[in-house]
Amino acid sequence: MQKKYVLALDQGTTSCRAILFDKYNNIRGVAQKEFTQYYPKPGWVEHDAQEIWSTQYGVIAELVAKTNINPEEIAAIGITNQRETTVVWDKNTGQPIYNAIVWQCRRTAGICDELKARGLDAEIRYRTGLVIDAYFSGTKVKWILDNVPGAREKAGRGELLFGTMDTWLIWKLTGGRVHVTDYSNASRTLMYNIRDLCWDEEILKELGIPVSMLPEVKPSSCVYGVTDPDQFLGYSIPIAGVAGDQQAALFGQACFEPGMAKNTYGTGCFMLMNTGADLFESKNGLLTTIAWGLDGKVEYALEGSIFIAGAAIQWLRDGLRVIESAADSEYFAGKVEDTGGVYLVPAFVGLGAPYWDMKARGIIVGLTRGTTKAHIIRATLDSLAYQTRDVLEAMEVDSGIKLQALKVDGGAVANNLLMQFQADILGVPVERPAVIETTARGAANLAGLAVGFWSGKEELAAGYQLDRRFEPAMSEEQRERLYRGWKLAVTRAMDWAESEQ
C-alpha cells in the first residue's frame, strides 16, 4: 500500500498527542488527551506511566478512527517526549515499580546538595553538559533505587530497566522487545557523557546505578524496531525517529544551521540554539546538550531551560481560578496598560536557567491597594517574557551570536499580547510559524528521513512558513526600567524553601 503519512507521537508533560503529517508537512489529523498530574508533597510531581501508555494508545486509536486512514499508509512513527521524566520497571513483568518522577519534581534536591558538597559540579558539567539539579533523571533513578523496597537488589540482579518516556513507549509499542533511547534524550539524564558518547561509568558509580538498567543509545533518525501488531491496532509499523521534545522543536523549526535558535512556550519554556559540531561550555547558567544524532554524526545545542511558563497560566486557571481558559489570560491582561508595578516570579518548582536555585519559590511583589486581578494576570504573562530575556542574554554572551529574530512555538504563542510584549522586552523581532506543532513535526521529520519519506533537510527547510512577525515597539528606556524591576523581583524569590523540599 502507498505510504502517505508519518505519525508523530508527542508525549508531553500534561497531555499525549498523536498527529498525522503528509508529505508536504500538512497536519492531516490530531488527537490529544490530558492525563493525571500527581502532587504527593509540596514540590513533588509524578505521573502514572501505565496511564501515559493507555492515554497515548487511546489517542492513536482515536486519530486513526477519525481520519479514517489505513494504518498501512503510515510510512513511519516518530516519538517525541517530555524529557528527563524517569520510569523504572520490572523487565520480567513490565510493571513500573514506582510512579514516573517528573522533570519538575524537586524531591532529589538533597541528593543534589550532597553531590555538590562532594565537589562534583565541574566534573559532572564537563562530562554531561548539565548542572547538578533535581531536574535531570540521574538523581531520580537513585531515589527510586534507595526508596522502593527491594529495588536496589533487583537492579543488581539485572531485573530492572530505566527509561525516559520515549524508551517506555517504544518498549510498550514493541511488546517489550526493544529497550532504546536516542542521543538527545540520553543527554538529559546526567548519566551520559556527551563528549565520549557513552553512559558515564564514573557518574553511575557515584549514583549507585548499574549500567544494565540503561537503554541502548541510538541516532535520532533510524529504525529502532517495528510495532507489535497486538500493541498497534494489528499492524507492524517502523518506529524511526526519536528526540526529546525541545530538540524535536529545534528540528521542526528547521534550525539546521549553527546560530539558529527557537523558544518553545509550553508547560515550561525552552530556548535552544544549534551550535553544530561545537560543544560550547556555558559560563552563564545554560546547558550544553545534544541536539540530535543524524547522518552519522552528533550535533550540539546550547539550552536555557525555564521550568514554569504556560504552567503559570494553568495555575491562574486551576489554582487561583481567576480565568476559565488559558486563552482568557489575553483578554484580562488587555484590560490594563501594564502591571501597575506588580511582578510575579513563578518559581513554583525552584528556578532553572540561568539561576539554578532549587530553593527559590514563587512570589508576587509590588502589590498596592490599586492592584486588580487583571494586573496579576498580566504580570503572570509578562513573567514568561522576562524569563526568556534572562536566557537570551546568557545565550548571546555564551555563543557570541546576536540573534536577529527569535523563532517561537508551543501552546502559549497563540497569545498575541504575550508575543508583542516578548518582542518589546527583548528588543528583537519574534517570529511565529504557520504550524506551531513544531515538536511533533520535528519527530515526524526525523522518522520520515530514516525511511526515505523525505529526501533530506533541504526539502524540509523549503516547507517552512511564517504566520506573523512581532516587531519591538517599546522605548529602550522603558524596556530597561521594566527589566531592572524583574531582576530585583527575582532576587526576592531566591533561596526561600528548606533544602529537604
Ligand X SMILES: Nc1ncnc2c1ncn2[C@@H]1O[C@H](COP(=O)(O)OP(=O)(O)O)[C@@H](O)[C@H]1O
| CA-to-CA separations, 248 to 6, 14, 221, 425, 446, in angstroms, rounded | 15, 17, 11, 27, 8
**Least distance CB 140 / ligand G3P (angstroms):** 13
**Binds ligand X by CB under 6 A, chosen from 27, 197, 327, 494:** 327
**Least distance CB 265 / ligand G3P (angstroms):** 9
Judge whether 288 is annotated as a binding position: no
- Answer yes or no whether residue 352 interacts with ligand G3P by CB under 6 A: no
**Binds ligand G3P by CB under 6 A, chosen from 268, 285, 293, 350:** 268
247 and 237 Cβ atoms separated by less than 8 Å: no
Grid cell 545565550 is found at 395
Taking the C-alpha atoms of residue 8 and residue 432, their distance in angstroms, rounded to an integer, is: 21
- Answer yes or no whether residue 262 interacts with ligand G3P by CB under 6 A: no
Residue 237: all three cell numbers together: 509499523
**Binds ligand X by CB under 6 A, chosen from 11, 13, 25, 99:** 13
**Least distance CB 448 / ligand G3P (angstroms):** 21
**Least distance CB 314 / ligand X (angstroms):** 4
Cβ distance to ligand X smaller for residue 304 or 411: 411
Binding-residue pattern over the window 271 to 310 for ligand X, x denoting contact by CB under 6 A: ---------------------------------------x
The C-alpha R_g of the chain, in whole angstroms, comes to 22
- Answer yes or no whether residue 55 interacts with ligand X by CB under 6 A: no
Cβ distance to ligand X smaller for residue 67 or 314: 314
Binding partner of residue 84 among ligand G3P, ligand X, none, CB cut-off 5 to 8 Å per kind: ligand G3P
Cβ distance to ligand X smaller for residue 212 or 314: 314
Binding partner of residue 83 among ligand G3P, ligand X, none, CB cut-off 5 to 8 Å per kind: ligand G3P
Binding partner of residue 15 among ligand X, ligand G3P, none, CB cut-off 5 to 8 Å per kind: ligand X
Residue 33 sits at φ, ψ, to 5 deg, of: -150, 135
Strand bridging mode 238-244 / 74-81: parallel
Degrees, nearest 5: CA angle 216-222-223 = 85
Strand bridging mode 261-265 / 466-470: unpaired
Judge whether 463 is annotated as a binding position: no
Taking the C-alpha atoms of residue 350 and residue 363, their distance in angstroms, rounded to an integer, is: 11
Judge whether 415 is annotated as a binding position: yes
How does DSSP classify residue 236? -
For the chain, how are helix, strand and coil distributed in percent, rounded to 5? 35, 25, 40
- Answer yes or no whether residue 69 interacts with ligand X by CB under 6 A: no
Residue 55: all three cell numbers together: 492515554
How does DSSP classify residue 102? P
Residue 155 sits at φ, ψ, to 5 deg, of: -60, -40
Judge whether 17 is annotated as a binding position: yes
Half-sphere exposure of 250 (CA within 13 A, CB side): 31
432 and 413 Cβ atoms separated by less than 8 Å: yes
Q: What residues contact 478, with CB distance under 8 A and at least 6 apart? A: none
**Binds ligand G3P by CB under 6 A, chosen from 267, 274, 388, 445:** 267
Q: Which listed range, 79-87, 203-211, 274-282, 350-358, lies at the site for ligand G3P (CB under 6 A)? A: 79-87
- Answer yes or no whether residue 25 interacts with ligand G3P by CB under 6 A: no
Helix (H) or strand (E) holding 290: strand 287-294
- Answer yes or no whether residue 88 interacts with ligand X by CB under 6 A: no
308 and 323 Cβ atoms separated by less than 8 Å: no
**Least distance CB 384 / ligand G3P (angstroms):** 13
Q: Which listed range, 265-273, 320-328, 426-434, 473-481, lies at the site for ligand G3P (CB under 6 A)? A: 265-273
Binding partner of residue 326 among ligand X, ligand G3P, none, CB cut-off 5 to 8 Å per kind: ligand X
274 and 256 Cβ atoms separated by less than 8 Å: yes
Cβ distance to ligand X smaller for residue 71 or 410: 410
Cβ distance to ligand G3P smaller for residue 244 or 442: 244
Q: Which listed range, 22-30, 76-84, 196-204, 326-334, lies at the site for ligand G3P (CB under 6 A)? A: 76-84
Grid cell 553531590 is found at 115
| CA-to-CA separations, 207 to 112, 124, 189, 202, in angstroms, rounded | 10, 12, 12, 9
- Answer yes or no whether residue 174 interacts with ligand G3P by CB under 6 A: no
Specify binding-site residues for glycerol: 83-84, 135, 245-246
Binding residues for ligand G3P (CB under 6 A): 12-13, 82-84, 103, 244-246, 266-268
Residues that bind ligand X (CB under 6 A): 12-15, 266-267, 310-311, 313-314, 326-327, 329-330, 410-412, 414-415
Binding site members: 13-15, 17, 83-84, 135, 245-246, 267, 310, 314, 411, 415
